[in-house]
Amino acid sequence: MSLNLLWEGFVIGIAVSVPLGPLGMLCIKRTVNKNWRSGFSSGLGIAASDTIYAIVAGFSLTIIINFITSYEIYFKILGATMVILLGLYIFLSNPAKEIQKFKQKGTSYLQDFFTAFLLTFSNPLSVFIFIAIFTSYSLVLQLSLLLEAMLIVGGIFAGSASWWFVLTSLAYLFKHKLTISTLWWANKIIGLSVIFIAIGLFIFLLLK
């Protein structure tokens, strides 16, 4: 029973993380421009934020969910704005300077963790994704069954972290085949893609 709950949480963690959105692109960018630890630290930040929203959804914290629902449009606008800024950051970044800066000063993996965490946390609507998933799996987190709840939550974090481990490892494995020119163009393409996705979402919200 315990292993089943852990496994279900693990599968949920992977399912939520696999879609390669803007933050996935950020993890790849940091892996390629800096190193694997930087990309994976960012992935762990995303996993930690997702886990918090899983806890909120699983325990059905009505007050928080109602608050998010009441101000849904504002949260969506905030999330779209954050993604646009992320796209601009990627587009304007110079891979040659970033690599040189990393070689001279190294990088703060804690900073990578928290920036990714805050970017993910700026979109609290993720809680509804977990509500939908928990409903489909018929899972409910209960304080009276705290051990079972911790197993599910732990599985979610482990599944999400495992996905970011695999993704950043693959990015690091092939990074040596990329030239500075390729990285420069990759930053431009990824940055523009992120910006266009966010602008499309923003326009959809305004029209809605």
The tens digit of pLDDT for each residue in 43-81 reads 999 999 989 888 887 776 555 666 666 776 776 676 677
* Contact yes or no for 168/27 (Cβ under 8 A): yes
Task: Express each pLDDT in 171-206 by its tens digit.
Answer: 888 877 765 566 666 667 766 776 776 677 667 656
Q: Which of 49, 74, 82, 58 is nearest to 199 (CA)?
A: 82
User: Count of domains in the chain?
Assistant: 1
Place of tokens 């799996």: 137
Confidence of residue 160 (pLDDT cuts 50, 70, 90): very high
Per the structure, the complete domain to which residue 119 belongs is given by 2-207
